[in-house]
Amino acid sequence: MRTPIIAANWKMNKTQKEAKVFLKELIPLISDAECEVALCVPFTGLAVVKRMVKGTKIKVGAQNVHFAEKGAYTGEISADMLKELKVDYVIIGHSERRQYFGETDESVNKKIAACLAKKLRPIVCVGETLEEREGGLTEKVLERQIREGFRGFKSKDFDKIVIAYEPVWAIGTGKNATSEDANATIGYIRQVLRKYLPKSISEKVRIQYGGSMNSGNVKELMSMPEIDGGLIGSASLKAEEFAKIVHYGRA
Ligand code: 13P
């Protein structure tokens, strides 16, 4: 009932030239994709990627946005600027932004609001660090990130929202969460959503898994009932590998 979504997060990778080479290779490889596919690329690549995916079903996303409408925020990009480029998705609250750029649940909340006001779809990242996990705090941390991150939003806002569960210890480490573990934790996230939303809404929100997902483990992860897709970092940088992920491991 929930359409799976496989999204690439290129992080700070690929110039426009490199993006073009990637897309020329990728587009024919995934023309038969059964899931929704999105490419979340650096700001500088948005226009060219958007142009190249024209006529395909591939969606395009940014990796951050500022929460203010406009103003004296040197170096920042507004939701209006993304909307003008016809961007579909925006990753919000990625753990790298929380860790290196001071992103908090509060700024995540404001950024989601900025996206929704312009009809951009936020992909909201949540996840525990290794320390939190080992301290038995995973559920507590996730509950807080959901409660604070989504504070004040209405049921209908969740039509546009995708959640990505990305355990920080699994990102870029080659150590993915087991499918059972990811499934159970995503199940817990949905349980938290049920506290705040009517069942008809909470059951529709798509929750992806992210963290060392690749063509070798995607099939098993995607076979789990709670996992509605993936947010893929390093394995999304090579067209052939990413295409395999889109096909759940098949070439
Ligand atoms: P990796 O796939 O490189 O572990 O990164 C995951 C991620 O952070 C996606 O947002």
Distance 39 CA to ligand 1 centre (A): 13
Has residue 251 been placed in a domain? Answer: no
Distance 72 CA to ligand 1 centre (A): 31
Q: Encoding tokens for residue 83? A: 């909307």
Has residue 76 been placed in a domain? Answer: yes
* CB proximity list for 89: less than 8 A, separation 6 or greater: 7, 38, 40, 59, 60, 61, 62, 120, 121, 122, 123, 162
Rounded Cα distance between 236 and 68, Å, is 30
Q: Is 212 in the pocket of ligand 1 (CB under 6 A)?
A: yes
**Tally of domains in the chain:** 1
Report pLDDT for 142: 98
Compute CA 162 distance to the chain's CA centroid, rounded to the nearest angstrom: 7
Banded model confidence at residue 102, pLDDT cuts 50, 70, 90: very high
* Atom 2 in ligand 1: residue holding the nearest Cα: 233
Q: What is the pLDDT of residues 9-24, one digit of tens each?
A: 999 999 999 999 999 9
Q: Is 93 in the pocket of ligand 1 (CB under 6 A)?
A: no
Q: Is 198 in the pocket of ligand 1 (CB under 6 A)?
A: no
Rounded Cα distance between 234 and 214, Å, is 8
Report pLDDT for 251: 80
Report pLDDT for 231: 98
Has residue 208 been placed in a domain? Answer: yes
Rounded to an integer, the average pLDDT of 153-182 is 96
Half-sphere exposure of 4 (CA within 13 A, CB side): 22
Rounded to an integer, the average pLDDT of 230-236 is 98
CATH of the domain at 211: 3.20.20.70
Has residue 219 been placed in a domain? Answer: yes
Q: Give me the domain span that covers residue 125.
A: 5-246
Tell me: pLDDT of 141 over 90.
Answer: yes
Has residue 183 been placed in a domain? Answer: yes
Has residue 113 been placed in a domain? Answer: yes
Has residue 150 been placed in a domain? Answer: yes
Tell me the pTM. Answer: 0.98
Report pLDDT for 153: 97
Rounded to an integer, the average pLDDT of 148-153 is 98
Q: Is 210 in the pocket of ligand 1 (CB under 6 A)?
A: yes
